[in-house]
Amino acid sequence: MPGPAIDLTIYDDEAALLAGLRRHDPDACTCLVKRFAPIVYARALQLTGDPDEAEGVLQTTFIKACDALDGFAGTSSLSTWLYRIATNEGLMLLRRRRPQVTLDELAETLRPDELPQHRAPWVGDPQRAALDGELRAELERALAALPESLRVAVVLRDLQGLSTEEAAEQLGLTPGALKVRLHRARLRLRESLATYLERSQRGDDERL
Amino acid sequence: MSASDHSPEQRAELIARLSDSLDGELPAELRAELQAHLAGCPDCRVVLDTLGRTVRLLRDLGDAPPPLPPAIEARLLELVARRLGAQG
């Protein structure tokens, strides 16, 4: 069942949305979901790498938010509050998984095979074609393929925009250790993108 | 000088500095040193540029979530409405 079509602009104002939710207005519920669920789900999926787990995080986040609505003081924005709940839920889930952390993931320096292999500049401007279609899919694939401890570092830092200190605290790491994971994750993603861009460039040349 | 002249340790250190510089977290003194190195090292310039583009793409990905699959949205809407007692 697709969500009902409603005019989302009636709750443009966050205070009005909160008031609507507190008096249990169905349109306010719909508005809350339509406005914030896509990003909460996307972030949960990036953190966990698993669609079912991401939906679990999404649902728990919204249930907790519903239950805590009356106590929500509004000192942060509704979105910041929701994203914080979602990040906590996602990280808790990862901790519960008790992953087999490999030595590879715990390395505290860059390994020689992680150093840049591709030395060619990127032709064209991948930024422009950026996030439509294939490049986006490629980046998501590369992100999902990272070992969990590296993926979490880059998701918190670059996708969710936490500071080094905030991300380190969330993960129980020193800022230095967080940075090493971040550097390693970025380098691996750069190599994946470079490989992809080289391949698609070759494909373009062959088609000419 | 090209990157192949750097020892693995030097390269690891350079990469860490390049990555820090993208976050504005490289101390001024090291920044000046890095600038001087970059001026003479085309390989490191390429790595800095492409690493910077990678990070920008990641940030874009974080800012622009794909649409929520309709089935997931429907299940969530039902759950939220029930939780808030707002069956419409």
Residue range A85-144, pLDDT digits in tens? 999 999 988 888 765 555 556 666 677 677 787 778 887 655 555 555 788 888 989 998
Q: How confident is the model at residue A1 (pLDDT cuts 50, 70, 90)?
A: very low
Residue with tokens 């519960």: A96
* Nearest residue on chain B to A57, alpha-carbon basis: B76
Per-residue pLDDT at B1:
47
Report yes or no: B49 at the A interface, CB cutoff 8 Å: yes
ipTM for the complex shown = 0.85
The lowest-confidence range among A2-16, A45-59, A70-84, A135-149 is A2-16
Confidence of residue B10 (pLDDT cuts 50, 70, 90): confident
Instruction: State the smallest CA–CA distance between residue A188 and chain B in angstroms.
Output: 10
Contacts of B70 in chain A (CB under 8 A): 2-3
Give the list of residues 6+ apart from residue A137 with CB closer than 8 angstroms, or none: none
Closest CA to A118 of A183, A201, A184, A190: A190
How far is it, in rounded angstroms, from Cα A81 to Cα B9? 42
* % of chain A surpassing 70 pLDDT: 83
Do A160 and A87 meet the contact criterion of CB atoms below 8 Å apart?
Answer: yes
Give the pLDDT confidence score for residue B86 in this predicted structure.
Answer: 64
Out of B15, B50, B86, whose CB is closest to A183? Answer: B15
Query: What are the structure tokens assigned to B35, written together?
Result: 């600038």
What are the structure tokens assigned to A10, written together? Answer: 């009636």
d(Cα A156, Cα A125) in Å, to the nearest integer?
A: 26
The reply to whether residue A110 touches residue B73, judged by beta carbons under 8 angstroms, is: no
Q: Chain A within 8 Å of B85 (Cβ-Cβ)? A: yes
Quickly count: other Cβ atoms within 10 Å of residue B20's Cβ: 19
| Contact assignment for B68 to A116 by CB distance below 8 Å | no
| Chain A residues touching residue B57 (CB < 8 angstroms) | 126-127, 130-131, 135, 139, 193
**Which residue of chain A has the CA closest to B25?**
A164
